[in-house]
Amino acid sequence: MNTRYIFVTGGVVSSLGKGIISASIGKLLQARGYKVTIQKFDPYINIDPGTLNPYEHGECYVTVDGMETDLDLGHYERFTGIRTTRENSMTTGKIYQAVIDKERRGDYLGKTIQVVPHITNEIKARIKANATREHFDFVITEIGGTIGDIESAPFMEAIRQLRWEMGRSAINIHLTYVPYLNAAGEFKTKPTQHSVKEMQSMGIQPDILILRTEHHLEESLLKKVASFCNVDEDCVVQSEDLPSIYEVPLNMQKQGLDASIIRKLGEEVGHTPEMKAWRSFVKKEKEATKIVNIGLVGKYDLQDAYKSIRESLSLAATYNDCKAKLHFVSSEDIDKTNVAEKLAGLDGVIICPGFGQRGIEGKLVAAEYTRTHNIPTFGICLGMQMMVIEFARNVLGYKDAHSMEMDPKTTHNVIDIMEEQKNITNMGGTMRLGAYGCELKEGSKVRSIYAESHIEERHRHRYEFNNQYIDQYESNGMKCVGKNAESNLVEIVEIPEHKWYIGTQFHPEYSSTVLRPHPLFMDFVKTIVSA
Ligand code: GLN
C-alpha cells in the first residue's frame, strides 16, 4: 500500500493532549497490522528542546540515535513500542538552519529565499523524509502549537499543499476543546467552530474532529459539530477525561476513529482488532488497589519535568498489581535536619536527573539517608552521580568529593568530565547522547534483573564516574556492575548489601513501554511491593 499521511493539529487551547491522541492513533493502526511511524513538528525556533528549561517545555526525551526531542516522542514510543529517531522530531529552527545552509552553499542558484516556497518546501520534504528511507503504511505528523499561532503558519501552508498534492492519501485530524459552562449548564461548541473556520481560512478542511471534553458529550452535540464544520457524522469523536491516558486508544477505537481514518484514506476497513494485551494492561491498572509511595527527589515540581520516569513507575506499578503514588520532594528543601521528615512514609526514592548546582546538597542528603536506612533507591544519571559522591564523602571519607560540574576545584573528582567533552563550548546537542552498550557483571543484581549480559541504554550527560576510584568503591561496598565495553566507562553502580540501591548513568525511563515495561523499574517496584 502507498504511504498515507495523517496530520494532527490542535485548536482552541494548548495542552489538549495531541501527543496522546497521535500515539493512540498510531497504536490502533498498528493493531490492524499496519506499519506506522509518528513524528512531531514543533514551530519553535530552538534547534531541539535540549537547551530548554524543563519549566518551559517539560522533559527532554532522547531517541536511540541521540536526538534530544519533545516529550511527545515518549508517548509515541510508550504507546506503540516504535523506536523513533532524529527524523521523527523537527523544529522551525532545524528547518531554517537547513534552508540557510543550502542558501550559503548556493543551492538555490541566485533565488530570493522566502517562507513560501523555500521554508514550506523544506517542511514538506521533511514530512515525507521518513517514508523515503523506509516503507510505512501510515506516517502520522503531529504539528505542535495551536491553530492561529504565527509560528505555525508555514506548517499549515505545507500541510495544505501536501493534502492538495496527495489527494486521498492524506487527511487532517483536528483536536479541539469543548468547554462546559457551569453557570449556563451547557457545553459550548463555538470555539470548535471558530477553530475549524480558522483552518478553512488557511485552505484546510479537517476530515476528522476530536473533541476534548471534561464530561461526556451527547450524540446530538457531535452531530451539530459535524454539520457546522463540514465533517461526516462518523468523523466527530469525543475524547473525554479518563482515569488513565492508556484508556484513550480503547475509547477512540470504541467510537470507530481508526475505522473512519482508514475509510477516509480509501482503504478497506476490515475487522476491529481485539488489542488483548493492551486491554489486559488497562484492566490491571483499573483493578490495582494497593498503593506504593515513591518519592521523586528533584528540582522541578512539574508533572511533565520527569514525565518518562513517572510513566515508567506507573507502568511498573500496574504490572506489580499496585498503584504508584508519586510524591515530589524538592531537593532544595532537604537538609540533614529535616530529611527524615521529608522522606517519611516513602517506600522508595528516585534521585532524579538534572543539571547544575541547584538542589545538589539535598540530593546528597537524601541519598545518604536512604542508603543508611535501607530504603529502596534508584538514582538516574545525576541521581547516580549523587549516590557516587555521597558514598565518597561518607564512606570513603573524601569530604570534598564532588563532580567537576559543580566543583571544578575538588581534589576528589569522583565524577569527572570526559576528555572529548573538555573543549566543547556549544551547549546544544553536544553531550553523550543516545544508546550505548553496557556489559553487566556476572553475579550482580542488575545482571539478574535484566536477565541479560549485554544491554543498550540511552544517555544524556557530560560527566562520568572517574575510573581511578573504582577499586576504592568496590572494596567498600559500592560495585561498578555495568560498563561500556569500548570506553570502559561505568554505567551502573549498586550496593549489593542494600535492599535496592542502584544508580544508572543512563536513562532507563526512555525505553519503558506499555507492553514492555523496563526491568529496572519493574524490579524496583517489585522490591517495594514485596517489602
Ligand atoms: N549533569 C549531569 C551530567 O551532565 C547529569 C545529567 C543528567 O542527569 N541527565 O553529567
Q: Exposure of 501 by Cβ count < 10 A (0-12 exposed, 13-18 middle, 19+ buried)?
A: buried
> Which of ligand 1's atoms lies nearest the C-alpha of 507?
9
Cβ-based neighbour number of residue 15 at 10 Å: 10
Distance (angstroms) between ligand 1 centre and the Cα of 346 equals 25
pLDDT in tens, the chain (531 residues): 899 999 999 998 888 999 999 999 999 999 999 999 999 999 999 988 888 888 778 899 999 999 999 999 999 999 999 999 999 999 999 999 999 999 999 999 999 999 999 999 999 999 999 999 999 999 999 999 999 999 999 999 999 999 999 999 999 999 999 999 999 999 999 999 999 999 999 999 999 999 999 999 999 999 999 999 999 999 999 999 999 999 999 999 999 999 999 999 999 999 999 999 999 999 999 999 999 999 999 998 888 889 999 999 999 999 999 999 999 999 999 999 999 999 999 999 999 999 999 999 999 999 999 999 999 999 999 999 999 999 999 999 999 999 999 999 999 999 999 777 777 777 777 789 999 999 999 999 999 999 999 999 999 999 999 999 999 999 999 999 999 999 999 999 999 999 999 999 999 999 999 999 999 999 999 999 998
Please, are residues 47 and 97 in contact by the beta-carbon 8 Å criterion?
yes
Protein residue with its CA nearest to atom 5 in ligand 1: 382
**505, amino acid identity:** Q
User: Ligand 1 pocket, 460 CB below 6 A?
Assistant: yes
User: Ligand 1 pocket, 382 CB below 6 A?
Assistant: yes
Q: Report the residue among 388, 461, 465 best suited for mutation to probe ligand 1: largest number of ligand atoms under 8 A from its CB.
A: 461
Distance (angstroms) between ligand 1 centre and the Cα of 298 equals 13
> Which of ligand 1's atoms lies nearest the C-alpha of 383?
8
User: Ligand 1 pocket, 363 CB below 6 A?
Assistant: no
Cβ-based neighbour number of residue 446 at 10 Å: 23
User: Ligand 1 pocket, 360 CB below 6 A?
Assistant: no
The cell numbers describing 142, all together, are 503531529
Nearest to 142 by CA among 168, 174, 165: 174
How do beta strands 348-351 and 291-298 pair? parallel
Distance (angstroms) between ligand 1 centre and the Cα of 77 equals 23
The cell numbers describing 159, all together, are 500541510
Q: Which residues are catalytic?
A: 381, 507, 509
User: Ligand 1 pocket, 32 CB below 6 A?
Assistant: no
